[in-house]
């Protein structure tokens, strides 16, 4: 099983806070020790974030020099997806580390999955094929293939959400299917529909951000010093990162959409 973290913000936001707790999970405080990854979109300030930075490592996050860089690197992003992997399918190798990235309609798409899919071998007849050997990348390729068939170009967030909801429902019966997806415009999060499976939680933060205590470390960060009064952030995780905020659980099988730092109806 794996840990997921997604962030969606209305302004480029420093994510060092949340990732520090998350990175600590990679081997130090839990058994999620088979690699990790983070991808985040970066734009030029015009609001259309097309560039992606993608860092993956098959070393545990707590031993990885790249994770060490990330914990010090001033990430400024509106859409972030991070993942700590515990191998269930596919050996411990770089090509099996989430998040995965593909291009469609001239945009990059970033995907990470938590869970295990059994007997999931969809027909991949089109233009997205897995490089590694995970059920997760197979599911991502199938979703991209079906999106490409359903729309001629990048659809609206609302239209895309409808299609994704239909597609996720077809994969979910195969097992635990918590996933995060972003194209730089929004963050889509799907919670597993299986009873007893881990689920997703989210929190919306608004200025002024309260002191937040990481559950994995005795560190406290005050966001208020760093943000503007208009700043909003939504954070989605498989296990709440902080102990002094109220995290809302997804309903089983639910797909939620976050845009401009808020949960939106879509």
- Whether the CB-CB separation of 23 and 61 falls below 8 Å is answered with yes
CA distance 120 to 102: 20
Give the binding-site size for a copy of itself (rule: CB under 8 A): 35
Q: What is the DSSP string of 115-137?
A: S-BSS------SS---SS--HHH
Asked if 211 interacts with a copy of itself (CB under 8 A), we say: no
**Cβ neighbours of residue 41 closer than 8 Å, sequence gap 6 or more:** 49, 50, 51, 52, 77, 78, 79, 80, 108, 110, 182, 184
Tell me, yes or no, if 2 is annotated catalytic.
Answer: yes
Asked if 95 interacts with a copy of itself (CB under 8 A), we say: yes
Q: Could you give the string, one character per residue 117-156, with x where binding to a copy of itself holds by CB under 8 A and - elsewhere?
A: ---------xxxxxxx---------------x--------
CB atoms within 10 A of CB 197: 18
Q: What are phi and psi of 81, to 5 degrees?
A: -130, 125
Closest separation in Å from C-beta 51 to a copy of itself:
3
Which range in 7-15, 82-90, 97-105, 110-118 contacts a copy of itself by CB under 8 A? Answer: 97-105
CA distance 74 to 175: 37
- Whether the CB-CB separation of 212 and 245 falls below 8 Å is answered with yes
Which one of residues 14, 28, 50, 157 is an interface residue with a copy of itself (CB under 8 A)? 50
Which one of residues 11, 28, 66, 263 is an interface residue with a copy of itself (CB under 8 A)? 66
Which one of residues 47, 69, 230, 248 is an interface residue with a copy of itself (CB under 8 A)? 69
CA distance 80 to 77: 7
Asked if 106 interacts with a copy of itself (CB under 8 A), we say: yes
Q: Which of residues 126 and 224 has its CB atom nearest to a copy of itself in the complex?
A: 126
Residues that bind a copy of itself (CB under 8 A): 42-44, 50-54, 56, 58, 65-66, 69, 72-73, 91, 93-95, 97, 101-103, 105-108, 126-132, 148
């Amino acid at each position: 099983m794996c840990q997921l973290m997604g962030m969606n913000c209305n302004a480029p936001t420093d994510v060092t806070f949340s990732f520090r707790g998350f990175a600590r999970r990679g081997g130090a405080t839990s058994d999620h020790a088979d690699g990790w990854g983070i991808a985040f979109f970066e734009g030029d300030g015009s609001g259309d974030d097309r560039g992606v930075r993608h860092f993956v490592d098959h070393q545990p996050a707590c031993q990885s020099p790249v994770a060490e860089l990330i914990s010090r690197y001033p990430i400024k992003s509106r859409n972030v997806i991070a993942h700590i992997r515990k191998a269930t399918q596919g050996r411990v190798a770089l090509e099996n580390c989430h998040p995965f990235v593909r291009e469609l309609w001239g945009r990059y798409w970033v995907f990470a999955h938590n869970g295990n899919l059994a007997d999931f071998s969809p027909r991949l007849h089109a233009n997205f094929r897995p490089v590694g050997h995970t059920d997760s990348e197979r599911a991502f390729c199938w979703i991209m293939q079906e999106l490409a068939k359903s729309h001629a170009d990048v659809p609206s967030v609302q239209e895309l959400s409808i299609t994704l909801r239909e597609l996720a429902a077809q994969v979910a019966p195969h097992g635990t299917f918590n996933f995060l997806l972003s194209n730089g415009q929004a963050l889509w999060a799907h919670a597993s529909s299986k009873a007893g499976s881990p689920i997703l939680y989210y929190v919306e933060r608004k200025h002024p951000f309260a002191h937040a205590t990481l559950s994995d470390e005795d560190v406290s960060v005050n966001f208020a010093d760093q943000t503007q009064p208009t700043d909003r952030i939504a954070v989605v995780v498989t296990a709440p990162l902080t102990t002094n905020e109220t995290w809302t659980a997804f309903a089983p099988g639910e797909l939620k959409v976050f845009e401009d730092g808020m949960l939106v109806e879509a």
